[in-house]
Amino acid sequence: MTILISLLSWGIALSCHAWLQHARYHLPPVSRPIQRAMRIVRAVAPMLALGVALTAGPVAGVLVWCATFSIAGMAVAIVVERLTHH
Domain boundaries, the chain: 2-84
* Tens of pLDDT, residues 29-75: 999 999 999 999 999 999 999 999 999 999 999 999 999 999 999 99
Q: Is the pLDDT of residue 4 over 70?
A: yes
Crossing angle between the packed helical segments 2-20 and 32-53, to the nearest 10 degrees: 150
The pLDDT of residue 9: 98
Mean pLDDT of 17-28: 91
Contact 10, 49 (CB under 8 A): yes
Cβ atoms of 42 and 16 closer than 8 Å:
yes
Neighbours of 12 (CB within 10 A): 20
Residue 27's pLDDT is what?
87
pTM: 0.92
